[in-house]
A and B are shown apart, each in its own frame.
Chain A
Amino acid sequence: MLQGHFDIQLIAIVTAVACALPGVFLVLRRMTLMSDAISHAILPGIVLAFFLTESLSSPLLILAAAGTGVLTVFLVELLQRTKLVKEDAAIGLTFPALFSVGVILISRFAGNVHLDMDAVLLGELAYAPLNKLKAFGYDLGPVSLYVMGAILVLNLVFILLFYKELKLATFDASLAATLGFAPALIHYGLMTLVSITTVGAFDAVGSILVVALIAGPPATAYLMTDRLSRMLILSAIIGSVNAVSGYWLASLFDVSIAGAIATTTLLIFGLVFVLIPNRGIIAIARRQARQKWEFAQTMLAIHLFNHEGLPEAEAESAIADLHEHLSWDPTFTNQVVKHALNNQYVSRKETQLALTEHGRTIAQQALVQ
């Protein structure tokens, strides 16, 4: 049993990292939904290959599915190129159509062969270690570990070899084209990789949750860093953390492992989304609150500065009437005055406010800007 625990987690981690790496580029290139489309649209490819080989773990299956994945990308782009259909609609048309073909094929002809729709769509990680690779009578470990391990290595090699090209094509496609880097080639290379990864991840997590593994960790990492290299490493780490914590959540409550991994993906994204310094919701809310007070104090300083030394200055700087001059709510005005006094923008002379030296500089700077 312990071996089972270990095997499942190892497969989950390898799958998560293998998905997260190309996922980074999809997220940055705004093509995440292509992975959704591919993961659904490869169904007819898998079904046809399954009819030929009558086995779910044949390498032909992966090739056929990857081929269908690239075909999907090609079809989407073909539709787009007619200029009659926008990209999102092209995706929304292509994958349901291909998927429908797959479903019809299965229910029409697969009645007497074993091809479980649930397994294809949802996957079941718990069974993954049971399918062992055996050679010369030795047990070499689960097959899916080898498959996903090979895909992970493939992804790593592709990204390391073409790191510069991928980076350039992602952030400035036209410069990449000008310099002769063939962005179309890189694009199709990436899409082939995504197709292969998606198919490989099928066994483990099924076609819908693959998207969680591909989009989740990179989206989370995107909130945490500005550097591509760090985003890649962070995505891999977050993917692994999601996989392991999802696995333990699943065994704690005895629920679907793939579903639990998707759930932890959402939870960890949510945590980062709320808490991360600078870009999180809390940080945004605090910054907006601070900016509101700063802006109000600056407005007050400008108001006082405009009337300073003029005959109406006395009337304009009476604390009791300030809210009328600035058309603010009285309580809000009082708070602003309090803040401004604390920050020494202004000083109080009985019922009047006067700018301090600091407040005057602030007002002058604001006016110059």
Chain B
Amino acid sequence: MENLSILIHLDYTLMVVAIGAALLGTVSGALGTYAVLRRQSLLGDAISHAALPGIAIAFLLTGSKAPLILVLGAAIAGWLGTLLILSIVRLTRIKYDSALGLVLSTFFGFGLVLHTLIQRTGNANQAGLDTFLFGQAATILERDVLTIAILGGVALMIMLVFWKELKLLVFDEGFAASIGLPTRTLDILLTSLLVMAIVLGLQAVGAVLMSAMLVAPAVAARQWTNRLRLMVFLAGCFGALAGVSGTIISSTASRIPTGPTIVLCATVVVGISITFAPNRGLVWDRIRHQRNRRDLKTATGRLLK
């Protein structure tokens, strides 16, 4: 009964933030599933870092700090960065990891240059960069929640519309190409959805931790099921769970930043899943191992008798 009253008396701002974090967790968890299955877990890290120059240029060009304009700039830069990574990998012998590291850090560095340029002209506040790096979940307002809900909903809707095609792209790209699916276009579509999820999430958890929001829920979900449908659904749920619990935990004590707490909650979910998930989990593996050993022992014992 006491718990319930706490829930009812949850203060309104906290509720808005929690709903926002839950929505973000759902969107990034569901879309992150594809990144993890394609072994592109760190693409999210690259996109989120590469977004910085986009934000700075959007601000320099328009002089406005309206979230939608900055988000658009971030999306374009993140998208260009991804395109550069893919073309470096396709055209040279430089491997995926090096291309990713190179683009991530140099785009970010360029963003930093632009940022100091803006700072020097004196019309940006110092908080801008910190917000980008670590997010500021506490500043999520009702209208942000609405933006997240609409854009995130659109992204998830597109994912559902192209469900079959994306599924084939993830599991058997060669076959998808051979039956005439436009794999390059689908690849770009999937990347764009990822960019959308990341750019939305920047406000809550920031660039450095965004990759965890894509990877952790998906890895956790992977342990419980072998079906894509269930995995996407579970990843969305885990993401939402991490978002809500992280927000609530960070609100219980002073000076616990929300973004990192959300990430740690997601990590805990992964830890539990890896340990206890049926069939795949470490505990089950151990039990199976011992049972096999015992069976083998009794079998050999019987043979030797």
Contact with A along B23-46 (1 / 0, CB 8 A): 000000000000010011110110
Any chain A CB within 8 A of the CB of B94? Answer: yes
Cβ of A108: which chain B residues have Cβ within 8 Å of it?
A: 255-256
Q: Which of B94, B260, B261 contacts A219 (CB 8 A)?
A: B94
| Smallest CB separation, B136 vs chain A (Å) | 12
**Complex Cα gap A259–B120 (Å):** 15
Closest A residue by C-beta to B211: A92
Cβ of A85: which chain B residues have Cβ within 8 Å of it?
A: 219, 274
Cβ of B281: which chain A residues have Cβ within 8 Å of it?
A: 84
Contact A273 B109, beta carbon cutoff 8 Å: no
Any chain B CB within 8 A of the CB of A253? Answer: yes
Cβ of A209: which chain B residues have Cβ within 8 Å of it?
A: 105, 108-109, 112
Contact B264 A258, beta carbon cutoff 8 Å: no
Can you name 30 A-B residue pairings with CB atoms under 8 Å? A30-B96, A31-B97, A32-B97, A32-B98, A33-B100, A82-B274, A84-B222, A84-B281, A88-B40, A89-B36, A89-B215, A92-B42, A92-B45, A92-B214, A96-B208, A107-B255, A108-B256, A117-B130, A118-B130, A209-B109, A211-B105, A219-B99, A223-B92, A255-B120, A259-B116, A262-B112, A266-B107, A266-B110, A269-B106, A273-B91
**Complex Cα gap A86–B111 (Å):** 31
Contact A96 B94, beta carbon cutoff 8 Å: no
**Complex Cα gap A216–B106 (Å):** 8
Q: Which of A215, A218, A259 contacts B113 (CB 8 A)?
A: A259
Main secondary structure of the interface of A (DSSP, over half): helix
Main secondary structure of the interface of B (DSSP, over half): helix
**Complex Cα gap A40–B207 (Å):** 12
Contact B92 A32, beta carbon cutoff 8 Å: no
Closest B residue by C-beta to A246: B109
| Smallest CB separation, A103 vs chain B (Å) | 4
Cβ of B116: which chain A residues have Cβ within 8 Å of it?
A: 254-256, 259
Cβ of A214: which chain B residues have Cβ within 8 Å of it?
A: 101
With A99-B260, A100-B261: A208-B108 Cβ-Cβ less than 8 Å: yes
Q: Which of A82, A266, A279 contacts B92 (CB 8 A)?
A: A279
Q: Number of contact residues on B: which range applies?
A: 35 or more
Any chain A CB within 8 A of the CB of B212? Answer: yes
Q: How many A-B residue pairs have CB under 8 A?
A: 212
Name the residue among A89, A211, A223 with the largest chain B CB count within 10 angstroms.
A89
Q: Which of A219, A259, A284 contacts B91 (CB 8 A)?
A: A284
Any chain B CB within 8 A of the CB of A261? Answer: yes
**Complex Cα gap A322–B226 (Å):** 56
Contact B111 A32, beta carbon cutoff 8 Å: no
Closest B residue by C-beta to A117: B130
Cβ of A99: which chain B residues have Cβ within 8 Å of it?
A: 208-209, 260
Closest B residue by C-beta to A86: B39
Residues of A245-280 whose CB lies within 8 A of B: 250, 253-256, 258-263, 265-266, 269, 273, 279
Residues of A94-132 whose CB lies within 8 A of B: 96-97, 99-101, 103-104, 107-108, 111, 117-118, 121-122
Any chain B CB within 8 A of the CB of A13? Answer: no
**Complex Cα gap A288–B95 (Å):** 22
| Smallest CB separation, B107 vs chain A (Å) | 7
Any chain A CB within 8 A of the CB of B76? Answer: no
Closest A residue by C-beta to B254: A108
Contact B102 A212, beta carbon cutoff 8 Å: yes
| Smallest CB separation, B122 vs chain A (Å) | 13
| Smallest CB separation, A360 vs chain B (Å) | 37
Contact A93 B109, beta carbon cutoff 8 Å: no
Cβ of B36: which chain A residues have Cβ within 8 Å of it?
A: 86, 89
| Smallest CB separation, A112 vs chain B (Å) | 11
Contact A255 B117, beta carbon cutoff 8 Å: yes
Any chain A CB within 8 A of the CB of B223? Answer: yes
Any chain B CB within 8 A of the CB of A35? Answer: yes
With A121-B133, A262-B112: A33-B95 Cβ-Cβ less than 8 Å: no
